[in-house]
Structures are given as structure tokens and as C-alpha cells.
Amino acid sequence: MPELSAVPRINLLRSARLWWSDIAAREGKLAAVRQTIGGLWEFVRDSTPQRKRQRYGDAAYDWDYRVNTTSAAVSWRDRLLAVFHSPHQPTEPELFQEMLTMLQRQAGIDFRDYLFLDLGSGKGRALLMASDHSFRRIVGVELLPALHKIAQENLAKYRSESQKCFALESICADATDFAFPAEATVLYLFNPFPEAGLRRAIGRLEQSLRAHPRAVYALYHNPLLEQVLGESAALEKICGTNQYSVYASR
């Protein structure tokens, strides 16, 4: 088990200050003001009854497997924290399967040799869907304790006739400081961090690859900050669509 850094005390004021500082340093104070107002306005809109109904998203998945993975039941505090980290949004099952199929087609890998690692794993839907494939083991890393607790409950109650991997784990930790296990890995990123956090995470991955060269593939879903992975000397893009990009270690 990799060594984990301590989970920082999570509070709104600290999160907002770090978020503000990151944007102001990169884009200036005016941009920080605009993005703060935009983020808070989106939070207010997301709190209306109509938007709450939309947050149920793909409720059919939860109904089929008796789990809780949509964003509808996320508390207002955790949704506000998500403004300064990353909003919780479950992955669509069909698109998730498409990404894994694309990876196997392009790289020809056997999932039995790989760890599946989800940084910013939320309530754990991607972990559950990954268990329908023959990964060596499956690990999710989630910052918010409330979402981590729900993920643990989902992992415990999940039952599927198609499940092939039963070594599933959710870890409550800061994924930007996660110490990558020294094993072949399929890394899943559903746009989990602001730019500064993604750069820290990719920097940690680069350090790990230098210390332990191995095969690592990154599935970047909703690649809004794709330039961060594109700038990495340790990764190269092998395929993708407008919805996701697939990278391999060099």
C-alpha cells in the first residue's frame, strides 16, 4: 500500500483562498473575481428545484444496482466545496465502456496486469463499473469525507453478475498528493482538479515513473485542461475524442 499524505482539514474558507490564489497567480485578480462570481452563481442555480432534479443524472444505474452515485444527494456544503475543487458528476456507463474498449484496442493491454486508479473518485461509480473488468485491483482516492463514506457503502453493497474484480478500495486523501503505487496502472481522471491540482498530480506521476519505469495509461474524461498532460514529457497522447483523451507513459 502506498504511503499517503495526511488529509488536510477541509473547510470552505481555506478552499476558497487556495482557489483564488491559484487563479490570481496564473490569470490575474480580475479573472479570479470573474471566476469566483461565476462559480458562486452556478452554485445558486444548481440549488434550484429544477436543477436538483437534473442532478439525479443517470438514476437508472443506481436503481439497477441499488447504489447511490448521482450528485442529487450531495449536501450543499460539499457542493459549495466542489466550486473550489471539482464538482461531483458520475460517469455515464456507456461512455466509460467506450473509453476502456478504445484503450484495449489502441494499446492491446490485458487488464489483469493493471491497477485501476481513479483520482477524485467521488461516490465510486467508476470503481463499480471498472469491477466489471478483470483488473488486478481497483482503488479510488477522494478528498471529501462525505463522498468517501458513500463510496465505501456503495462498494460494500454492490452486486453484479458481470463483476470480475472484487479487490475494490476507496481511500480518503488529497489526490493531488497521492503517492502512485509502483505497478502498471490505468489512471482515470474525470476532470478532477483545477489546473494547479492537476499539475501537482501529474508531477507526482512523473516522479513515480522516473523512480519506477512502467506502463501507465491515463483516461482523461472531459479534458478541459488537456494542455497539462500534453506538456508532460512522461506522457504521450495515443487517441481520443471530443469527450476524452487517452495517454500512455513514454
Q: What are the chain's domains?
A: 12-84 (no CATH), 93-249 (3.40.50.150)
φ and ψ at residue 118, rounded to 5 degrees: -110, 115
* Percent of the chain clearing pLDDT 70 (strictly above): 74
Per-residue pLDDT, 48: 60
Helices (H) and strands (E) in the chain, counts: 10, 7
Q: What average pLDDT does range 141-169 have in this prediction?
A: 93
Per-residue pLDDT, 7: 47
Per-residue pLDDT, 24: 74
- Asked whether the CA dihedral 207, 208, 214, 215 is positive or negative, the reply is negative
- Please enumerate in sequence order all residues whose Cβ is within 8 A of that of 50, keeping only pairs 6 or more positions apart, or say none: none
Nearest CA among 68, 67, 89 for reference residue 78: 89
Q: Is 245 helix (H, G, I), strand (E, B) or coil?
A: strand
Per-residue pLDDT, 4: 44
Q: How confident is the model at residue 10 (pLDDT cuts 50, 70, 90)?
A: low
* Percent of the chain clearing pLDDT 90 (strictly above): 56
Phi/psi-derived region of residue 181, left when phi > 0, alpha when psi is between -120 and 50, beta in every other case: beta
Tens of pLDDT, residue by residue over 197-242, are: 899 999 999 999 999 999 999 999 999 899 999 999 999 999 999 9
Does the pLDDT of residue 174 top 60, yes or no? Answer: yes
Does the pLDDT of residue 47 top 90, yes or no? Answer: no
Per-residue pLDDT, 99: 97
What does pLDDT average to over the chain? 84
φ and ψ at residue 244, rounded to 5 degrees: -160, 160
φ and ψ at residue 219, rounded to 5 degrees: -100, 110
Tens of pLDDT, residue by residue over 59-103, are: 788 878 889 887 666 665 665 566 555 555 788 999 999 999 999
Per-residue pLDDT, 9: 54
> How much is the pTM?
0.78
Q: What average pLDDT does range 238-247 have in this prediction?
A: 96
Does the pLDDT of residue 2 top 50, yes or no? Answer: no
Q: How confident is the model at residue 141 (pLDDT cuts 50, 70, 90)?
A: very high
**Measured between alpha carbons, how far is 247 from 220 in angstroms, rounded to an integer?**
8
Nearest CA among 116, 126, 68 for reference residue 93: 126
Does the pLDDT of residue 127 top 90, yes or no? Answer: yes
Per-residue pLDDT, 27: 73
Which stretches of the chain are DSSP H helices?
12-27, 29-46, 49-54, 59-65, 76-84, 93-107, 125-130, 145-157, 195-211, 226-230
Which one has a higher pLDDT value, 142 or 78?
142
